[in-house]
Amino acid sequence: MAQACGVDFGTSNSTVGYIDSRATGAVGSSLLALEDGKATLPSVVFFNADDDEVSYGRAALAGYLAGYEGRLMRSLKSLLGTSLIDGQTEVAGRSLPFRLLLQQFIGEVKRRAERQAGQEFSCAVFGRPVFFIDDSAAADKLAEDTLAGIAHAVGFKEVSFQFEPIAAAFDYESQIAREELVLIADIGGGTSDFSLVRLSPDRAARAERRDDILATGGVHIGGTDFDKYLSLTSVMPLLGYQTLMNNDSAIPSGYYFNLATWHTINQAYTKKTWTQLADVVRDAREPAKLGRLQRLIEAREGHWLAMKVEEAKIALSDADAIELMLDRLSPPETLTIARPAFEHAIGHLVDQIDQTVLKLLADAGVGRGGVDTVFFTGGSSGVGMLRERIGALLPNARKVEGDLFGSIGAGLALDAVRKYG
């Protein structure tokens, strides 16, 4: 029997699913605990310059927030398929290729999973979005090939891929008693992926499921994009975003977009940026706001600010309004954000997601009333506006919430058994 697992390398969190029949004689799927008894490992790496150590996941975030000097990297998956993957960043005075950074993280995921399972894994089914990169088949293939190469480099001898929403479908299928036509809505940190699939207990036993998949679709929009536009509309104006220079030209927006986008935050910390920003502050109409931006960048607090925005996004999924304490700004600020402001900030993104769902239904030749169930997974599917809009597109469908962070990993484990025994 192959030593196989399912790996969900996510933009925000990663999991590993493994089916072990040795102890009970019965096949059962479980997610392996990757950190502190929890199945999820946040996809974060922190290079602690004070202690010359590398930490991962929650420990990485805790080390960074505790104020240790170093470099925090998050949203690593977003590098796949982009030109950045062949670039590098500076860590402790040394150049670190981004490709090697991903290899270090995935290697750590593998080591932790093997330690928890008590065995090595030689085969893996990796989850992948329907599209790593929109509207570029070449970039999409490059992203998958890059991930496969990294998986082989960390010790997996055989690697295959499964669409993340299909993996979630396999997990949901293990819970139902009759046939259903299901829209799997996987709203992750970096992408929104959908599959329309016929599921049933009888179909689950089939080795080949291609005919059960009516359509797949996706768009490169996810939770980190919601963070980005909430930050740009609500937080970055405190730092001078969309203000003017004395000559009536706009303050360059690149500083703000870099700080609002998880995988480009570190680009704001270069010496070139500091030099340019000093000139901008001198010529700004609102120098106090630009001075606040300057102090934030000098203190390397961009990741802290992004985490505060993410915190606000999550809170606004339940609350009508929240107060966001921005105590590390200089001077500190308490910002009130109402849910309508958040929904306005992300409205154009949700419109694109709606169109992706409608195209998928058209591709499948299925009317909006013909879907039995919408199965939501992925951490960002908790955003109320998004869930309501998708639900409104499918008026007759039941709305079911899966394990927002675990359904894909569990489904990949089932697929690993099908593929590798």
- Domain ranges for the chain, please list them: 4-175+403-420, 224-331
Q: How many residues does the chain have?
A: 421
Cβ–Cβ < 8 Å for 49, 71: yes
Cβ–Cβ < 8 Å for 132, 182: no
pLDDT greater at residue 78 or residue 153:
153
Q: Determine what percent of the chain is predicted with pLDDT higher than 90.
A: 77
Cβ–Cβ < 8 Å for 170, 107: no
DSSP structure class, residue 205 = T
pLDDT in tens, 76-104: 998 998 888 888 888 877 888 999 999 99
Does the structure show a pLDDT above 50 at 24? Answer: no
Q: Per CATH, the architecture of 4-175+403-420 is what?
A: 2-Layer Sandwich (3.30)
State residue 27's pLDDT score: 44
> Is the whole-model pTM more than 0.85?
yes
Does the structure show a pLDDT above 60 at 225? Answer: yes
Q: What is the mean pLDDT of the chain?
A: 92
Does the structure show a pLDDT above 60 at 3? Answer: yes
Instruction: Place 2 in a pLDDT band, splitting at 50, 70 and 90.
Output: low
Does the structure show a pLDDT above 80 at 26? Answer: no
Does the structure show a pLDDT above 60 at 140? Answer: yes
- φ, ψ of residue 205 to 5 degrees: the values are -80, -10
pLDDT greater at residue 105 or residue 66:
105
- Rounded Cα–Cα distance for residues 123 and 112 (Å): 15
State residue 88's pLDDT score: 86
DSSP-assigned beta bridge partners for residue 8: 15
Longest dimension (CA), the chain: 75
Instruction: Place 21 in a pLDDT band, splitting at 50, 70 and 90.
Output: low
State residue 13's pLDDT score: 94
| pLDDT (average), residues 403-413 | 92
State residue 25's pLDDT score: 41
Cβ–Cβ < 8 Å for 40, 7: no
Does the structure show a pLDDT above 60 at 1? Answer: no
DSSP structure class, residue 240 = T
Instruction: Place 134 in a pLDDT band, splitting at 50, 70 and 90.
Output: confident
| pLDDT (average), residues 165-193 | 93
Centre a 10 Å sphere on the Cβ of residue 302 and count the other Cβ atoms it contains.
23
Does the structure show a pLDDT above 60 at 29? Answer: no
| pLDDT (average), residues 225-246 | 97
- Rounded Cα–Cα distance for residues 28 and 21 (Å): 7
State residue 338's pLDDT score: 97
- Rounded Cα–Cα distance for residues 105 and 287 (Å): 40
| pLDDT (average), residues 236-245 | 97
Cβ–Cβ < 8 Å for 174, 157: no
Residue reference for tokens 């106090």: 288
Would you give the distance in Å from CA 341 to the centre of its chain? Answer: 23
Instruction: Place 263 in a pLDDT band, splitting at 50, 70 and 90.
Output: confident
Q: Determine what percent of the chain is predicted with pLDDT higher than 70.
A: 97
Centre a 10 Å sphere on the Cβ of residue 334 and count the other Cβ atoms it contains.
10
State residue 69's pLDDT score: 85
| CA-based nearest residue to 240, from 225, 265, 259 | 259
